[in-house]
Amino acid sequence: MRDILEELEARRATARLGGGESRIAAQHAKGKLTARERIDLLLDEGSFEEFDMFVAHRCNDFGMGDTAMPGDGVVTGWGTINGRMIYVFAQDFTVFGGSVSETHGAKICKIMDMAIQNGAPVIGMCDSGGARIQEGVGSLAAYGEVFQRNVMASGVVPQISLIMGPCAGGAVYSPAMTDFIFMVKDSSYMFVTGPDVVKTVTNEVVSAEELGGASTHTRKSSVADGAFENDVEMLAEARRLIDFLPLNNREKAPVRPFFDDPARLEHSLDSLVPDNPNQPYDMKELIHKIADEGDFFEIQAAFAGNIITGFIRLEGQSVGVVANQPMVLAGCLDIDASRKAARFVRFCDAFEIPILTLVDVPGFLPGVAQELGGVIKHGAKLLFAYAEATVPKVTVVTRKTYGGAYVVMASKHLRGDFNYAWPTAEVAVMGAKGATEILYRSELGDAAKIAARTKEYEDRFANPFVAAERGFIDEVIMPHSTRRRVARAFASLRTKKLQNPWKKHDNIPL
Ligand code: HXC
């Protein structure tokens, strides 16, 4: 019996070594942790339960017959993050470069099936040379099976992809279909075709980092939602994100203990909006001052800075925040901002996370590039996302909200539950100057007349009261009481029930 137990331990030890000491050393030399080290840091200490440690590939082609390594290049299983169950897989670059074989893919599918069935998130750590070249179409089939499960899991359990090494070719489409992608700076990259193929086909010379590094994907392409300095920082932040999310679409996000008075008044907010309407201010200050303990987890911080998205807690409950940022493009909505916010709103709605919208928006960004780029279709995404969302929606207009953007930004007309405005808010079709120039074009030569007309328009519309008279704004609130008002609003909406008509699925303008 003892021999048998020792044999098991020996087999386990071999499997835990993956591709062996020298390949582990090479992994460390690149500043990367191994698959098992990553899992250990991601999950609560000692909570990891492994599946399929002894699974090996079945390929005999190209000399693969006697190369089987237990685990086959991916470590899979489940464990907990702050006591809540999570399924994980971590590709092991030390075994065949983490490449995906039929058996490797089957291991990932097994834990994804369990995650969907048992209602727990999936976190995938990607570090792979792509399809196992020796296996050919068997490897492509494995990817296809994973893709299908990504789609089945979408909107059912949160899926997070941590890109911690290469992720290239069709392999990128699995992370692309998950809810959030994080990348490690300088040691991870994602592209459909790498620099060599690009050079051959288009004659463009580009480095892997420029083509698909963390900076490219968080700043330019918006493929990724966050970039981190190293593996350790990313894993810590993934734990932090998971704490904001429910385990599945039938559960609420966890309520965390909080040590911040929900009725806290913030008198500094009374002077947040500058007297000069053209002067910007930092909307993040408002977010931090509303949030429990000022804690804000920002999503896509480096992309489309004119809109801010991320998670806070109010009375310990998760809330998704969407906010115009007057510091960037005056807070205009454009193609990028609309796409970014629309995806975030849909994530929140799919997982029953209430949405707080902070509005200071002069309208959609004018320009040929915007129109030719399809701002109509992209802007409609955000409108659509807000309109279909059935989660509690609380909106606060801090300064201006004009035109179509007024309607889009979680207005009363899109089933906003609480629509508050600060006394500094202007709810109007457009700014007074623009309005006067259209209405009184014939008087444009007379500066005094135009100034008087502008003043008249301002007096009538440059305030929240016209909208409040119609009930489009429920209440004009003091800036200093925003946290209290918003927290009470969400508290009153905890039992909200709203259903859209039955449909197979909608047809959001993609
Ligand atoms: C089998 C692979 C492999 C692969 C790497 N290895 N990629 N084995 N299939 N796809 C093995 C290497 O042979 C090597 O084995 C070990 O992993 C480490 O690889 P190195 O090349 O030494 O590492 P490095 O220099 O860091 O380069 C990493 C790399 C490179 C850039 C990822 O390995 C590479 O270019 N690999 C091939 C990438 C590729 O073309 N994949 C197919 C893409 S098509 P030893 O034994 O020496 O340690 C695709 C389609 C997916 O993925 C479609 C889905 C629908």
Q: Where are the domains of the chain?
A: 2-242, 267-425+463-492
For residue 181, which of 291, 303, 305 has the smallest C-alpha distance? Answer: 303
Q: Do domains 2-242 and 267-425+463-492 have the same CATH topology?
A: yes
What class is the 2-242 domain?
Answer: alpha beta
Span from the CA of 191 to the centroid of ligand 1 (angstroms): 14
Q: Tell me, what's the pLDDT at 140?
A: 96
Which residues, at least 6 apart from 344, have a Cβ–Cβ distance to it below 8 Å?
A: 299, 300, 309, 320, 322
Q: Tell me, what's the pLDDT at 67?
A: 83
Beta-sheet strands, E only, within 301-385: 307-314, 317-324, 355-361
Q: Model confidence over 301-349: pLDDT tens digits? A: 999 999 999 999 999 999 999 999 999 999 999 999 999 999 999 999 9
* Among protein residues, the one whose CA lies closest to atom 45 of ligand 1: 96
Share of the chain above pLDDT 70, in %: 100
Q: Model confidence over 113-151: pLDDT tens digits? A: 999 999 999 999 999 999 999 998 999 999 999 999 999
* Among protein residues, the one whose CA lies closest to atom 26 of ligand 1: 97
Count helices and strands in the chain by DSSP H and E runs: 19, 17
* Among protein residues, the one whose CA lies closest to atom 23 of ligand 1: 97
Q: Model confidence over 91-109: pLDDT tens digits? A: 999 999 999 999 999 999 9
> What's the average model confidence in pLDDT over 269-275?
96
> What's the average model confidence in pLDDT over 365-393?
97
Q: Is 187 helix (H, G, I), strand (E, B) or coil?
A: coil
Q: Is 254 helix (H, G, I), strand (E, B) or coil?
A: coil
Instruction: Judge whether 260 and 293 are in contact, CB under 8 Å.
Output: yes
Share of the chain above pLDDT 90, in %: 88
Banded model confidence at residue 433, pLDDT cuts 50, 70, 90: confident
* Cα radius of gyration (the chain): 26
Banded model confidence at residue 461, pLDDT cuts 50, 70, 90: confident
Q: Model confidence over 212-226: pLDDT tens digits? A: 999 999 999 999 999
Instruction: Judge whether 250 and 302 are in contact, CB under 8 Å.
Output: no
Q: Tell me, what's the pLDDT at 459?
A: 86
Asked if 165 is an active-site residue, the reply is no
Span from the CA of 102 to the centroid of ligand 1 (angstroms): 16
Instruction: Judge whether 420 and 476 are in contact, CB under 8 Å.
Output: yes
Asked whether the predicted pLDDT for residue 22 surpasses 90, the reply is: yes
Give the pair of three-digit tokens for residue 349.
Answer: 């709605």
Asked if 491 is an active-site residue, the reply is no
Asked if 404 is an active-site residue, the reply is yes
> Taking the alpha carbons of 385, 389, 391, 396 in that order, is the dihedral positive or negative?
positive
> What's the average model confidence in pLDDT over 352-373?
97
Q: Tell me, what's the pLDDT at 303?
A: 98
Span from the CA of 77 to the centroid of ligand 1 (angstroms): 24
Q: Which of 169, 213, 310, 416 is catalytic?
A: 169
Span from the CA of 126 to the centroid of ligand 1 (angstroms): 13
Give the pair of three-digit tokens for residue 475.
Answer: 């209440």
Q: Tell me, what's the pLDDT at 370?
A: 97
Q: Which of 119, 144, 155, 170 is catalytic?
A: 170
Q: Tell me, what's the pLDDT at 432?
A: 85
For residue 253, which of 345, 315, 344, 339 has the smallest C-alpha distance? Answer: 315
CA distance linking residue 28 with residue 8, whole number of Å: 28
Q: Which of 316, 403, 404, 434 is catalytic?
A: 404
* Among protein residues, the one whose CA lies closest to atom 7 of ligand 1: 129
* Among protein residues, the one whose CA lies closest to atom 13 of ligand 1: 96
Kind plus residue range of the DSSP H or E element containing 75:
strand 74-81
Q: Model confidence over 480-506: pLDDT tens digits? A: 999 999 999 999 999 999 999 999 999
Mean pLDDT of the chain: 96
Q: Using a 6 Å CB cutoff, which residues line ligand 1?
A: 23, 96-97, 99, 129-133, 140, 143, 166, 168-171
Q: Ligand 1, from 28, 66, 96, 172: best to mutate by most atoms within 8 Å of Cβ?
A: 96
Kindly report the three-state secondary structure assignment for every residue of 398-453: EEEEEHHHHHHCCCHHHCCCEEEECCCCEEECCCHHHHHHHHCHHHCCCHHHHHHH
Asked whether the predicted pLDDT for residue 443 surpasses 90, the reply is: no
Q: Tell me, what's the pLDDT at 444?
A: 84
Q: Is 397 helix (H, G, I), strand (E, B) or coil?
A: strand
Q: Tell me, what's the pLDDT at 434?
A: 84
Longest dimension (CA), the chain: 102
Give the pair of three-digit tokens for residue 17.
Answer: 């070594």
- Tell me yes or no: is domain 267-425+463-492 CATH 3.40.50.720: no
Which residues, at least 6 apart from 128, have a Cβ–Cβ distance to it below 8 Å?
A: 73, 91, 93, 97, 98, 99, 100, 165, 166, 167, 171
CA distance linking residue 232 with residue 33, whole number of Å: 8
Q: Tell me, what's the pLDDT at 64?
A: 87
Kind plus residue range of the DSSP H or E element containing 298:
strand 297-299
Instruction: Judge whether 290 and 486 are in contact, CB under 8 Å.
Output: yes
